[in-house]
Every structure is written in C-alpha cells, then in structure tokens.
C-alpha cells in the first residue's frame, strides 16, 4: 500500500473513532458523582429518574434539564430554593440532608394539566445529624374528621362579613373562642352558632356576629402569613382553582376531563364557611376526595399549610388586607 493511502486511512479511521469516543469519555468524567434528572411533562413521563438515593450529610449533586418545556424543581418541606429547569440546558444544584427520610421533589411551573403529577422522591438514609422533629399526627387525624363528607354551612351570612366592623365587639368575646385550637377545630359557621349562644353577645345582630367571626379568623393569622398564603395559592392552586378561587383555573377544563369533576369552588360561602381549618388541612395534606386534587402533604410545611388555609378564608371576608409581597 502506498504511503498516502495508508496515511489517509489512518486519518479517516482515527477521525471517526475520535468523534465517536470523545464525547462519551468527556461526559462520563463530567458526570461522576452527579445525578442527572430529566424533566418531561407528566404526560410524557415526568421526572426521570423519579427515585434518588442519598446519604445523610453527604452532598447530593443534581444536574437538572428539561426535555420539553420549562419546568421548575423544588423539594417539599425544604428551605432549598426552587430552581428553573430549562429545555436543553443544565442547571446544577447541590444539597445536603441532615435528616433521614423520604423527600418529595416536584415541578413548580404549570407545565400541563397533569403538572402536579411531576413528582419524585429522594430516599435519604443514615443517622440523623440534628435532633429529629417529633412526629405528631396532623390535627384532622386527631379530630377524626371525615374529609370526604360534604360540609355545607346550614346558614351563611347575608353579606360579606367585615372584620373591621367585627373588631369593635371583640372585647365581648368569651376567652374560650380566642385560642388557636378553637379556630383550627371549628368552622366559621360553627363559631357563628357558638357566638349566637353567648349571652354577652345577645344584643348583636346576625350580621354583627358574622363580622365578629371574620375578626376572629383574621386574628388567628398575620398579614405576613396571609401574604405567604397568597403566594402559595398563586403558585400551586390557581392553575386549577383559578386566581380568585372560583374553580375556573386554566386547567379546570382538563381536570374535568381527567377527573370527571371541575376543581372545587373555593369562593363558595356555603362550603368554605362550613369547613374547619383542620378539615381544609386534611384535604390539602391528603388530597384525593375522588377529584384531581393532589396531595400536598409531602410538599408544604406545617406553617405553609396554615398560611394557605388562612388565605382561603380571607376570600370570604372583608377586608382582604394582604400587604403586597
């Protein structure tokens, strides 16, 4: 064989081998110790992988990318801020867990009607570094509430109750109703009936009593909590329940197709004033109810859950005094 022929063959074979081998070699070095997570719309498979294993105290390196539309990545009940997951681009993030357990990661952008099904879990094993939080069953479990039963309020106010007007009667309230436990375990309608039976409030009209209930509910939250609740609502609930809670979010028609029911109307006085905060807590944490309602238990912290509930009630009362965030 002539030298030129030999040289050309060497060139072409090495060129081809180089192209075939180098990318994978480089990539295998780059991805050592990194878990690559691909996001796809839930209809196309959701997160891949959707189960990750990690060790307590050992940094977990994640490399996130989307294979279709923009997604977001956040870990439930975790202070790690959510990141955007962009199509065709990699986002690196590193986190360390100090408690063993199962953590849920989820999509934070409304990527499709099944957006909330885009979830995965991180199984963290090892010994706890910090002292673990004591586990207590959620209030709705302790109260043995049937969260699937209908809960219409037998009576509803003639007009929207006004917390500012109710404030002037607040000194007349019996001490028992002022505790957070009372607020969480009673529906506004139950509180109304209880107040109606209090002799010191006998001179008040029904409207005055409802105003007092509005004040009582508002006194169990803070503007900052309401603001946080509003943010959570806009981020997680409005897609289905609508921006005003009336059940007409952008995905409501899809939800009707998927689950057979449109999302609940959270602006309806009868259902909302007939529900105790603990009942709403149950619906939020467990989800289900034969509807498309996802389970938020693994995602929202206890505080976030109560903030969201307080915000839902604020839709029933005047004024909705939420500072801009």
Residues 159-218 that bind other proteins (CB under 8 A): none
Instruction: Please give the full DSSP string across 150-190, using - where no structure is assigned.
Output: ----SS--SS--BHHHHHTTGGGS-GGGGSHHHHHHS-HHH
Residues 81-110 that bind other proteins (CB under 8 A): 87-90, 92
Pick one of 27, 94, 125, 179: the residue that binds other proteins (CB under 8 A).
27
Cα gap 137→254, rounded to integer Å: 34
Say if residues 74 and 104 touch (Cβ distance below 8 Å): no
Residue 17 Cβ vs other proteins, minimum distance, rounded to whole Å: 10
Say if residues 121 and 104 touch (Cβ distance below 8 Å): yes
Residue 34 or residue 95: which is nearer to other proteins going by CB? 34
Residue 239 Cβ vs other proteins, minimum distance, rounded to whole Å: 22
Cα gap 46→114, rounded to integer Å: 9
Cα gap 42→111, rounded to integer Å: 8
Residue 56 Cβ vs other proteins, minimum distance, rounded to whole Å: 27
**Stretch of 19-27, 132-140, 207-215, 286-294 lying at the interface with other proteins (CB under 8 A):** 19-27
Residue 50 Cβ vs other proteins, minimum distance, rounded to whole Å: 18
- Does 19 bind other proteins (CB under 8 A)? Our answer is yes
- Does 25 bind other proteins (CB under 8 A)? Our answer is no
- Does 325 bind other proteins (CB under 8 A)? Our answer is no
Backbone φ and ψ for 304, nearest 5 degrees, come out as -60, -40
Residue 67 or residue 254: which is nearer to other proteins going by CB? 67
- What number of chain residues touch other proteins (CB under 8 A)? 27
Residue 24 or residue 134: which is nearer to other proteins going by CB? 24
Give CB contacts under 8 A, 24+ apart, made by 86-92.
89/65, 90/63, 90/64, 90/65, 91/63, 91/64, 91/65, 92/34, 92/61, 92/62, 92/63, 92/64
Residue 38 or residue 231: which is nearer to other proteins going by CB? 38
- The mark string for 34-73 relative to other proteins (x by CB under 8 A, - otherwise) is -----------------------------x-xxxx-----
**Stretch of 21-29, 96-104, 111-119, 149-157 lying at the interface with other proteins (CB under 8 A):** 21-29
Laid out side by side, the sheet with 119-125 consists of: 51-55, 119-125, 101-106, 71-75, 83-85
Sign, Cα dihedral of 40, 42, 43, 44: positive
Contacting positions for other proteins (CB under 8 A): 2, 4-5, 8-9, 11-12, 15-16, 18-20, 23-24, 26-27, 30, 63, 65-68, 87-90, 92
């Amino acid at each position: 064989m002539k030298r030129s022929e030999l040289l050309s063959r060497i060139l072409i074979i090495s060129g081809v081998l180089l192209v075939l081998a180098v990318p994978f070699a480089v990539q295998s070095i780059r991805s050592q110790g990194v878990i690559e997570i691909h996001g796809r719309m839930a209809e196309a498979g959701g997160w891949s992988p959707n189960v990750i294993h990690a060790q307590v105290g050992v940094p977990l390196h994640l490399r996130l990318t989307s294979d279709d539309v923009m997604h977001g990545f956040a870990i439930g009940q975790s202070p790690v801020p959510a990141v955007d997951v962009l199509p065709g681009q990699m986002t690196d993030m590193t986190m360390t867990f100090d408690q063993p357990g199962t953590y849920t990661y989820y999509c934070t952008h409304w990527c499709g009607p099944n957006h909330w099904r885009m979830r995965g879990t991180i199984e963290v094993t090892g010994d706890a570094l910090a002292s673990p939080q004591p586990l207590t069953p959620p209030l709705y479990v302790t109260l043995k509430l049937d969260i699937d039963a209908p809960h219409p309020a037998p009576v509803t106010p003639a007009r929207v109750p006004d917390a500012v007007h109710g404030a002037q009667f607040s000194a007349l309230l019996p001490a028992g109703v002022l505790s957070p436990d009372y607020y969480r375990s009673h529906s506004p309608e139950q509180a109304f009936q209880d107040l109606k039976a209090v002799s010191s409030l006998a001179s008040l009209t029904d409207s005055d009593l409802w105003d007092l209930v509005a004040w009582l509910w508002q006194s169990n939250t803070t503007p900052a909590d309401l603001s946080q609740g509003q943010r959570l609502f806009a981020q997680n609930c409005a897609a289905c329940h609508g921006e005003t809670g009336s059940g007409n979010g952008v995905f409501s028609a899809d939800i009707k197709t998927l689950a057979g029911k449109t999302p609940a109307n959270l602006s309806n006085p009868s259902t909302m004033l007939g529900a105790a905060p603990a009942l709403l807590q149950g619906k939020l944490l467990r989800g289900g109810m034969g509807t498309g309602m996802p389970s938020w238990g693994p995602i929202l912290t206890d505080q976030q859950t109560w903030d969201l509930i307080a915000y839902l009630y604020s839709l029933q009362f005047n004024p909705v005094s939420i500072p801009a965030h």
